[in-house]
Amino acid sequence: MTKPIDSNPDPKSPVLRLDRLEVRYPSRTAESDAVVVDGLGCEIARGQAVGVLGESGSGKTSLALAVTGLLPSEARCSMELEILGRPVPAAADERFWRRLRGDTIGMVFQQPSLALHPMRRVGLQVADVLLSHRPWSARSCRRKVMELLDELDLESDIFQAFPHQLSGGQRQRIVLAQALACEPSLLVADEPTTALDRKTEIQVLELVRRLSRERQMALLWISHDPGVLAEITDRIYVMYAGRWMEEGPTESLLAEPNHPYTKLLLDCLPRRKALRSEPLDRRRLTVIPGMAPPASELPSGCRFVDRCPVVTESCGEKPSPVPMGQGRTWCVRAGSTRLGSGP
Amino acid sequence: MSGGPADRAVLSAANISMRYRRGGKLSGSEQIQALDGMSLEVRSGEILALVGPSGSGKSTLARCLAFLERPDSGEVGFQGEAVPWEDVLAMRGLRRRVQLVFQDPARAVSPRFTTEQVLREPQQAWQQRASPQRALDWAQLLAEVELDPKVLPMRARSLSGGQLQRLVLARALVTEPDALLLDETFSGLDLSLQAKLANLVLGLVESRGLTCVLITHNSALAEQLADRSLVLSQGRVVDERSAPDASTGGTS
């Protein structure tokens, strides 16, 4: 079986290079299309883990679907995408994507219970991935599945189990085994640990981190939880209403955010400790006032303008990236004033 | 809020145990001890957090405290009296006074019900037995959970996650409960929505004088919101942490 993109090309080219990604959905009610993703670009090197931090409705799932060719048919998508240095043609059809997905690009999505067939033994479901991408015999596929189960700290008798017999953490590991079966160069993960409790979550994250180091596998990890991204990524892109707000190395971005949105979002984390018999008012968490703009009525300039505490007149223009430290911030005020001190 | 003499138990559990049987090829026919001789008291007006990993018995405990499940042994008490499990009518009256809210609101309402139908259901169930009949002030109820009255005729499936979560909170308030049990209500939400809903619950606890049991695996959130945290593991309370008193220790 021929592969559309060779898995061993020039080792210096990034695993993923994305530019000018735009995803829009035609709207039945509003006149203009809903623009869900608007001109995003990013690059992921071999073995690098990149995180996308965004709230629901920010378009982060559309981003994951676009780079895996899984957008629904009504979505209109344009992008310049290179995987391992080879461009993905704009007219890439389902056959093209099918050979890429599961082989060069592995995917894990949010609900492991929905990703697995309820009536098929999970070992076979992992073997299915290998059977459709490798010219191997059933026996060698089975051997490879056993290796994978072992690598993911699963007992070998789980091969015969049905999904309902497994715990959430075990199911997510099976989905992970499917994604990793063909040793992909890139793993795209869309909130795969949201349904797990904290302890299982950390176990899965540590496992993925270890495997990505061992195999030099690139990660695109999408989440709304900064704690998860701190655990697993090297670099974070912050997304709001379809655009990047800020990107930079994980540690410095979470410790000293430059964009007002990132700052406010991180302020929503519970940090304070309650005191007995104090007024309940004092236990309130910080919130970001207002709501994200609907995708059909986006402001022309900065997308965060309506909720931003330090807004100025120039915020009506589309912000261009300002280099800040080892990252970039899409804010006209970045670097000029200390944020949070008010106008 | 002042503690003082109002420190009586609204809900209590005395040495309750609960066991489930699970059959399966992998697990064999195994018994799971969900609750193993657990005792606790929920004091009037307090926010009590139950923290623990999955499988520690948090949700089973919540179901017992909401009188939905009768433990195998031990006693569940409401306002100092043991719950009369055999008396079906009395139990119905009791169940309205403790309301449970789950994690996934999309699975807690019928997607085809309109918001109004969702809220009517508990009202009708309650008012069949209540006398005199009481009219429900929809506008006020929706305002309390910060929902737009425009959602009343909308079907549940067309609401956003945040709106649904507010709707199930409103539904829990319809029967005017004394205590609210929140089972992972804030888990898996965006940070900003989690903060908004947590503030909303704080407001409700204050304005309605509710007692609140917060079940969560997010210990930072528990510390920020609760007066007291119980750490559960394998069906037992293994640790209790009280927030320091505002008058004696700690500054914000």
Q: Give the pLDDT confidence of B44-67 residue by residue, as tens digits.
A: 989 999 998 877 888 899 999 999
Size of interface A-B (CB pairs under 8 A): 115
Length of chain A (residues): 343
Question: Each residue of B133-190: pLDDT tens digit?
Answer: 566 778 889 999 999 888 989 999 999 888 999 999 999 999 889 999 999 888 878 8
β-sheet bridge partners, residue B229: B49, B241
CA distances from A175 to A108, A117, A180, A279, B144 (A): 7, 11, 9, 46, 42
Model confidence at B93, pLDDT cuts 50, 70, 90, reads confident
State the best of A285, A286, A291, A304 to mutate against chain B, taking most chain B CBs within 10 Å. A285
Length of chain B (residues): 252
The pLDDT score that the predictor gives to residue A161 is 93
Task: Tell me the CB-side half-sphere exposure of residue A175, using CA atoms within 13 A.
Answer: 28
**ipTM (interface pTM):** 0.82
CATH number at residue B96: 3.40.50.300
Residue B27 lies in a domain: no
Residue B1 has pLDDT above 70, yes or no: no
For residue A194, list chain B residues with Cβ-Cβ distance below 8 A: 188
Residue B6 has pLDDT above 70, yes or no: no
The pLDDT score that the predictor gives to residue A2 is 47
For residue B226, list chain A residues with Cβ-Cβ distance below 8 A: 274
Compare B216 and B53 and report the one with higher pLDDT.
B216
The tokens describing A294, both together, are 């609907």
Q: How far is A207 from chain B (nearest CA, A)?
A: 19
How far is the C-alpha of B53 from the C-alpha of A199, rounded, in Å? 7
Asked whether the beta carbons of residue B243 and residue A273 sit closer than 8 angstroms, the reply is: yes
Residue B252 lies in a domain: no
Strand pairing category for A186-190 and A105-108: parallel
Pick A287's closest partner by Cβ from B24, B47, B195: B195
Asked whether the beta carbons of residue B191 and residue A157 sit closer than 8 angstroms, the reply is: no
Q: How far is A179 from chain B (nearest CA, A)?
A: 23
- Enumerate chain A positions whose Cβ falls within 8 A of a Cβ in B: 55-56, 157-158, 160-161, 165, 168, 194-195, 197-200, 224-226, 264-266, 268-288
What is the domain range of residue B155? 5-21+32-242
Which residue in B53, B155, B150, B71 sits closest to B111, CA to CA?
B155
How far is the C-alpha of A102 from the C-alpha of A4, rounded, in Å? 12
Q: What's chain B's average pLDDT? A: 86
Question: Each residue of A265-303: pLDDT tens digit?
Answer: 999 998 888 887 788 888 899 999 888 888 888 888 899
The pLDDT score that the predictor gives to residue B24 is 58
Which residue in B74, B102, B82 sits closest to B236, CA to CA?
B74
Cβ of residue B194 closer than 8 Å to a chain A Cβ: yes
Q: What mean pLDDT is predicted for residues B221-236?
A: 92
The pLDDT score that the predictor gives to residue A10 is 66
Residue B10 lies in a domain: yes
How far is the C-alpha of A338 from the C-alpha of A215, rounded, in Å? 41
Q: What mean pLDDT is predicted for residues B25-44?
A: 81
Which residue in A225, A204, A220 sits closest to A51, CA to CA?
A220
Residue B85 has pLDDT above 60, yes or no: yes
Question: For chain A, which ranges sit under pLDDT 70?
Answer: 1-11, 30, 336-343
Residue B185 lies in a domain: yes
Detail the DSSP E strand segments found in chain B. Answer: 9-22, 30-43, 47-51, 73-78, 81-82, 98-101, 179-183, 211-216, 228-233, 236-242
Cβ of residue B227 closer than 8 Å to a chain A Cβ: yes
Q: What mean pLDDT is predicted for residues B224-236?
A: 92
Asked whether the beta carbons of residue A285 and residue B194 sit closer than 8 angstroms, the reply is: yes
How far is the C-alpha of A161 from the C-alpha of B25, rounded, in Å? 8
The pLDDT score that the predictor gives to residue A300 is 86
The pLDDT score that the predictor gives to residue B27 is 54
Lowest mean pLDDT among A99-113, B1-15, B40-54, B217-231: B1-15
How far is the C-alpha of B163 from the C-alpha of B197, rounded, in Å? 10
3-state secondary structure of A207: helix
How far is the C-alpha of A234 from the C-alpha of A229, rounded, in Å? 9
Compare B25 and A60 and report the one with higher pLDDT.
A60
The pLDDT score that the predictor gives to residue B28 is 61
How far is the C-alpha of B158 from the C-alpha of B154, rounded, in Å? 7
Asked whether the beta carbons of residue B218 and residue A270 sit closer than 8 angstroms, the reply is: yes
Q: What's chain A's average pLDDT? A: 88
Q: Calculate the CA dihedral of residues A174, A178, A181, A183 and round it to 10 degrees.
A: -110
E strand or H helix at B238, and its extent?
strand B236-242
| Contact in structure between A217 and A211 (CB atoms under 8 Å) | yes
Model confidence at B202, pLDDT cuts 50, 70, 90, reads very high
- Per the structure, the count of domains in chain B is 1
Residue B26 lies in a domain: no
